Amino acid sequence: MNTTLERKVAFVSGGSRGIGAAIARRLAADGASVALTYHGNREAAQALVAQIEADGGRALALQSDAADPAALAAAVDAAAAHFGRIDVLVNNAGVFVGGPIDSFALADFERTVAVNLRAVFVASQAALRHMGDGGRIVNIGSTNALRMPFAGGAVYAMSKAALTGLAKGMARDLGPRGITVNNVLPGPVDTDMNPAHTEFGQSLHGLMALPRHGRPAEIAGMVAWLAGPEADFVTGADLAIDGGFSA
């Protein structure tokens, strides 16, 4: 473990698997106490907590559906009560529902917006009640906010593109407190939601400057940098980490 985030407390939504789990592991390895939420897979969340603790870190798993504003805010409050405060908020929970715009179900539209956008607002408001000056808010967006080269992704792209305006506005609101707000925009990342070995996954490589999927640990590294002291002067930014997908 290093001490970049020693004595800091981080909250990671959707932190039990994939990119979220990698972020939770990295922040803990950098010295932060980490609260992570999970929706349905309690076993995976508890296994991650056990791994972090075995490596000398501190972690807490909390069940929460990011689409439920009351449950999400309650999870943030519970994390703050357990660890004393929130210094770093990582809004990672997300969903992807694809489909042609002329037949896209309203229920799928509403859930996409609820998880990918409204939850960022809700968790940020909740975390700010427990966050002192100099805190960090990091949203996991998507390179599809910049480029959508295949059909069926309009609603997902919209939900991620909206984070740009939210982050820029929040950066202005919170700048006087020294709180930074930034978006990390991953490209294709090898997780169970977007595995590299599938036909669709392989097709994405032809759209990229670096023809491979990213690794969750690579996304976590950028998040850790934004959470740390070297990124004090970075706010309101969209930072692509996408292998040149948007180049």
pLDDT tens column, 1-33: 678 999 999 999 999 999 999 999 999 999 999
Determine the average pLDDT of the residues in 118-134: 98
pLDDT in the model for residue 142: 98
pLDDT at 1: 62
| In the predicted structure, residue 57 carries a pLDDT above the cut 80 | yes
Number of domains the chain is built from = 1
> For residue 231, is it within any domain?
yes
Domain annotation covers residue 2: no
Give CA–CA dist 121/13, Å, rounded.
13
Domain membership flag for residue 223:
yes
pLDDT at 175 over 90: yes
The residue-averaged pLDDT of 132-152 equals: 97
Residue 88 lies in a domain: yes
Q: Write out pLDDT tens, residues 197-240.
A: 999 999 999 999 999 999 999 999 999 999 999 999 999 999 99
pLDDT of residue 192: 86
Mean pLDDT of the chain: 97
pTM of the model: 0.97
Reference 59, options 4, 107, 15; nearest CA is 15
| φ, ψ at 11 (rounded to 5°) | -120, 125
Q: 98 pLDDT band (50/70/90 cuts)?
A: very high
Query: Kindly report the CA angle at 140 between 136 and 144, in degrees rounded to 5?
Result: 145
- Decide if 244 is inside a domain: no
The proportion of the chain whose per-residue pLDDT surpasses 70, expressed as a percent, equals 100
In a domain, 1, yes or no: no
Give residue 159's pLDDT: 98
User: Is 245 a domain residue?
Assistant: no
Active site residues: 156
Q: Which of 37, 27, 52 lies closest to 224, judged by CA?
A: 27
pLDDT confidence bin for 176, thresholds 50/70/90: very high
Q: Output the CA torsion sign for 107, 69, 220, 235.
A: positive
Share of the chain above pLDDT 90, in %: 97
37 is in which domain, residue-wise?
9-239
CATH number at residue 194: 3.40.50.720
